[in-house]
């Protein structure tokens, strides 16, 4: 048995006994659905300046900078489907081994894969809101008119500040979601962290809170993270390969 198999077995064992398991996910879990991560190999930040493209300050000054990037790559994100990693987390929740999934992602793929309790720390990329009149609209509809309208305009008031319902740089995180995530973390017995570089706070603080309160930590990530040293189980690999193996053992056999 190599180190990876041992890691899978140990993770399955911890989860099979979990009564209040909690997952925290980042962009890595959606990489295999074809949505690029921000950091790391092939990450978007090597291509775009995130401060310009995804900060509230720049957005307010010129929404078309944001929407031009969306015109180029937003269609792929909207068309993405959940992968076996998302489905494994949904299966663990259905089996009672996870109470919820806290995610930094805005792609909606956890919900699409069947996870019921999803806490979105950075909002949802599936909708836009008009900052002038407050009207909401599905993002797919805005996306469809980007080729003929830049920046896109509100269908109701004609305003030119349609903002995706995501948290941009410089915006506060939604307080109810943050509070609930920390509450669940403080009561978790197993904390499963997947596909996040764990360098963005306060999200990275969530597994710390869980560990401080006694949770056992599992990290699944393509590359090392700053938390590998305090984790009981660390598995370096692709989420879509590792998680189904972990869930199958944890759910079927009781590991």
Annotated catalytic sites, by residue? 122
Residue 106 interacts with ligand NAD (CB under 6 A)?
A: yes
Q: Which does 122 bind (CB under 5 to 8 A by kind): ligand NAD, Zn ion, none?
A: ligand NAD
Instruction: Choose between 140 and 248: whose C-beta lies nearer to Zn ion.
Output: 140
46, 156, 179, 199: residue in contact with Zn ion (rule CB under 5 A): 156
Q: Are 193 and 230 in contact (CB under 8 A)?
A: no
Instruction: Choose between 138 and 254: whose C-beta lies nearer to ligand NAD.
Output: 138
Phi first, then psi, for residue 155 (nearest 5°) are -70, -20
Q: How far is the CB of 121 from ligand NAD (least distance, A)?
A: 7
- The set of residues, in sequence order, having a beta carbon less than 8 Å from that of 222 and lying 6+ positions away, is 28, 31, 40, 41, 195, 236, 237, 238
The angle formed by the CA atoms of residues 10, 102 and 100, to the nearest 5 degrees, is 70
The backbone region for 166, taken as left when phi is positive above 0, alpha when psi lies in -120 to 50, beta otherwise, is beta
Residue 154 interacts with Zn ion (CB under 5 A)?
A: yes
User: Widest CA span of the chain, in angstroms?
Assistant: 63
From 4-12, 101-109, 128-136, 137-145, span contacting ligand NAD (CB under 6 A): 101-109
223, 226, 230, 254: residue in contact with ligand NAD (rule CB under 6 A): 223
Residue 35 interacts with ligand NAD (CB under 6 A)?
A: yes
The angle formed by the CA atoms of residues 184, 251 and 6, to the nearest 5 degrees, is 90
Query: 3-state DSSP: the chain helix, strand, coil percent, rounded to 5?
Result: 40, 15, 40
Residue 221 interacts with ligand NAD (CB under 6 A)?
A: yes
Q: Interface with ligand NAD by CB under 6 A: which residues?
A: 26-28, 30-32, 35, 37-40, 43, 104-107, 122, 195-197, 200, 221-223, 238-239
């Amino acid at each position: 048995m190599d180190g990876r198999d041992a890691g899978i077995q140990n993770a399955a064992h911890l989860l099979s006994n979990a009564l209040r398991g909690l997952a925290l996910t980042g962009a890595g879990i959606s990489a295999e659905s074809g949505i690029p991560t921000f950091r790391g190999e092939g990450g978007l930040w090597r291509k775009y300046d995130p401060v310009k493209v995804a900060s509230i300050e720049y957005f307010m000054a010129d929404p078309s900078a944001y929407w031009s990037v969306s015109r180029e790559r937003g269609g792929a994100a909207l068309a993405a489907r959940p992968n076996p990693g998302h489905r494994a987390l949904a299966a663990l929740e259905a089996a009672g081994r996870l109470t919820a999934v806290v995610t930094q992602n805005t792609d909606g793929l956890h919900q699409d894969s069947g996870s019921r309790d999803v806490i979105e720390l950075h909002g949802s990329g599936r909708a836009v809101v008009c900052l002038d009149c407050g009207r909401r609209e599905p993002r797919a509809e805005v996306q469809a008119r980007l080729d003929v309208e830049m920046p896109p305009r509100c269908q109701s008031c004609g305003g030119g500040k349609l903002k995706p319902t995501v948290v941009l740089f410089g915006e506060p995180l939604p307080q109810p979601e943050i509070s609930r995530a920390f509450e669940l973390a403080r009561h978790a017995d197993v904390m499963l962290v997947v596909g996040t570089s764990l360098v963005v706070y306060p999200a990275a603080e969530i597994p710390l809170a869980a560990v401080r309160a006694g949770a056992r930590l599992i990290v699944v990530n393509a590359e090392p993270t700053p938390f590998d040293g305090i984790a009981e189980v660390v598995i370096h690999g692709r989420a879509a390969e590792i998680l189904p193996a972990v869930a199958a053992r944890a759910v079927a056999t009781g590991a």
